[in-house]
Amino acid sequence: MLCAHAKSTIGYWKQNGFRNPEDADNCPFTFAHGKRDMSFFDILESMPEEMEVFKEYIATVSVLGVQQLVQLFDFGKLLPNKEGVVLVDVGGGKGHVINEIRNVYPEMKGFVLQDLKVVLDGSVLVDEEVELIPYDFFNSVQPVKGSNYFLKAILHDWPDAACLTILSNLAPAMKGHPSSRLLISELVLPDSNPSPSAVLRDMNMLVIGGKERNVAQWEKLLGDGGFKIVEIHGLGHPHASIIEAVLDE
């Protein structure tokens, strides 16, 4: 879907010295659509048919690999905050990840699913034991304090500056809570010889202003956001790893 726009983005690369995009509102996809003040997601909102196709795609890929993903990290070691919240799935869509974690760890309680209100008002898959909190990770400081926070396939959608905004809204919730963990589920690129599928994913992200990152890029991004990596679980996994990070206080 995204790489199909590659030919129509040549002008973007020429105008920008063939540098990687650093602004989600000024990237190859927005150039191809003649929109300089809208992100990929903003443009989709104005294209109902394309948005429905994209939603179906997201609904499909959200299910793929979730079982394997949950096996990469010991969620049972997470400590809840004083209100009993053990994990907040930030931008968690319909709740596929939370459901799978609960299947594997049935004794765990205290899950929160966060996403935009329009998403949570739709057909979420979690039951009433999971708290639903509308949340915009760009415009609001994280309201749940001292818990653990899960970001699945969020940061690769955005350039570094936008990612730092997301991280800056998370950091205050973790401040003063040494047991609080940030868990980031993303593809971690190898330094050389990436697989064809990894290259394609990186190209797709490039078109909308995002990118897949290698270890050094993740270390820098998280370091700039005030975090440090504890461990990368499943490093080398062809689809996604889980980056475990803490606030660097």
Q: Are 80 and 147 in contact (CB under 8 A)?
A: yes
Domain of 131 in residue numbering reads as 66-247
The answer to whether residue 87 is domain-embedded is yes
The answer to whether residue 180 is domain-embedded is yes
The answer to whether residue 57 is domain-embedded is no
Rank 30-34, 146-150, 195-199, 207-211 by mean pLDDT and report only the highest: 146-150
Distance CA 13, CA 168 (A): 30
DSSP 8-class letter at 37: S
In this predicted model, what pLDDT tens digit does every residue of 114-163 receive, in sequence order?
Answer: 999 988 988 788 999 999 999 999 999 999 999 999 999 999 999 999 99
The answer to whether residue 197 is domain-embedded is yes
Strand ranges (E), 100-197: 111-115, 131-134, 149-152, 182-186, 188-189
In this predicted model, what pLDDT tens digit does every residue of 149-166 receive, in sequence order?
Answer: 999 999 999 999 999 999
In the block, which residue shows the tokens 């062809």?
Answer: 238
Structure tokens at 65: 């690999």
Instruction: Give the count of domains, the chain.
Output: 1
Phi-psi region of 93 (alpha: psi -120 to 50; beta: other; left: phi over 0): left
The answer to whether residue 108 is domain-embedded is yes
- Residue 156 belongs to a domain with what CATH number? 3.40.50.150
CA-wise closest residue to 71 among 229, 230, 240? 240
Distance CA 48, CA 137 (A): 23
